Structure 1
Amino acid sequence: MKKRIIMSILGVMTGAVSVAIFKMAAFGVDPFQSFMSGISKLIPISFGTLYVIVNAVLLTFSLIFDRHYIGIATFINLFLLGYVTEYSYKFLQWVVPEPSMPLRIAFLIVGIVIICIGSSLYITADLGVSTYDAVALIMANKWKIGKFKFIRVCTDLCCVILGTVMFIAGGGHIKEIPTIAGIGTIITAFFMGPLIEFFNVHLARKILSSNSDTQAGEHKI
């Protein structure tokens, strides 16, 4: 249990920092954050507070259809991720006010890798997942609609489309769209699901299975 808790906390905090790194890259954020950017354009309140509100709504979905995915990590994600992202981004902006193109590319690559590692760690820890991750997991494992990686691609694409529409509706300039729905968003939309599964198999499950009695709770996604 101690190892699971550490994996959950580390996974959520890593994911929060990765979103800030995506923003520094300015090539588009991950699909859910693209959705959040669209909403924040329509509702001008603190990102951290808005993140809590949106995820509280998604939490209701999980409570109705499968409470198994609600746990410690869910509430860490719900109450801390938005604020950690907000302040991590401010810190990175202070350290690197105007990143060069090579540095932006480096930010993009690092952001993609660590957001997938972070998601893999807290999903495999089985102490709850983010309310957004729970949507695809419920569809895959409870509703048996299809494999997680394919369902995740579909939900990610829906987030990107809705986020872009809301961003424009909220007064966002078309030239700003690549910063919330750019090449980075496209990469994560199509590859984040498969990459999370890759890190589940080659990293997270191996960390967890180093103790023989901790294997029972792993997700098969």
Structure 2
Amino acid sequence: MSISTTQKPTTRRIVGMVVGIVIIGLGIALFKQSHLGNDSISALNMRLAELLGISLGVQNVATNILFFALEFWFGRKYIGLGTFVNGIGMGFIITFFYDPIAAAFGPAASLPEQLVWVVLAVLVTALGASLYQTADLGIAPYDYLSLGLRDYTHFQYFGCRVFTDAFCALLCWLLGGLVGLGTLICAFCLGPFIQFFNGLVSERVLQYKPEKA
């Protein structure tokens, strides 16, 4: 995704971006509720928050400050309003949704129940990511890492994304965090569903189609 330089942000796109981020937060909370693993960066942040004894929101901000420094230095063209809303708010949004969900439903009692949570998580997260990306108002600090690698190396974006996700998943696992079936499903299923929601929902609702990088 690239930041459009030909059209000024509209209210519709800004609202879509914010709603998309909130929906992503709900989706990640659903992944967490499944206890089968989250996307790699969320899983890593959750484990670091546990080890450091701080909230997920604070840990998420701290991690994104580090990633944002790289984005600011090497990829300023990817910075927009969505960069800050996502980077600052995501961890707090996840906690906002997860705590009442966990209190209401408790831990999943069986693998089929866990898989139901994962399926819901994939669909919800993909919808949110589709709205957020289609709004085209900035790249989240973590998402920039793979784009930056693509821009400064000869590797394709897919390979760069696999590398960053795999590295975070490995680090999470080494720190004793949860890396499981949900992590794999997230890695392989989100992309196709995001693409599905782009044409079916996001581009129609936002009345906008971002330029391709």
Name the residue aligned to 1:184.
182
C-alpha separation in 2, matches of 1:148 and 1:92? 35
Superposed CA offset, 1:27-85 (max 9, x none): 11111112213322432211111111111111111101111222221111122211111
Which residue number in structure 2 is paired with residue 14 of structure 1?
23
Partner secondary structure for residue 116 of structure 2: helix
Match of 1:171 in 2: none
CA 1:115 to 1:2, structure 2 compared with 1: closer, same or farther past 3 Å? same
> Does the residue aligned with 2:175 lie in a helix, a strand or coil?
helix
Letter aligned with residue 69 of structure 1:
Y
Unaligned runs of 5+ in 1: 168-176
1:38 and 1:162 in contact (8 A); partners too: no
Unaligned runs of 5+ in 2: 1-9
Q: Does 1:26 align with 2:35?
A: yes
Measured at CA, do residues 150 and 193 of structure 1 come closer, stay the same or move farther in structure 2, by a change above 3 Å? farther
- Which aligned pairs between 1:1-221 and structure 2 lie closer than 5 A? 1-101=10-110, 102-140=112-150, 142-143=151-152, 145-167=154-176, 180-208=178-206, 210=207, 214-215=208-209, 218-220=210-212
Q: Tell me the TM-score normalized by structure 1.
A: 0.81
Contact kept in structure 2, 1:148 and 1:193, CA below 8 Å: no
In 1, Cα distance between equivalents of 2:125 and 2:76: 24
- Is the Cα contact below 8 Å between 2:17 and 2:82 reproduced in 1? yes
Is the Cα–Cα contact under 8 Å of residues 29 and 181 in structure 1 kept in the other structure?
yes
Deviations 1:67-126 (A, max 9, x none): 122222111112221111112111101211233334322111111122122122212211
> Superposition RMSD on alpha carbons, in Å?
2.2
Q: TM-score, normalised by structure 2?
A: 0.84
Counterparts of 2:86 and 2:35 in 1: how far apart (Å)?
23
CA distance in 1, matches of 2:168, 2:188: 12
Residue 170 of structure 1 aligns with which residue? none
Q: Distance in 2 between matches of 1:27 and 1:8?
A: 28
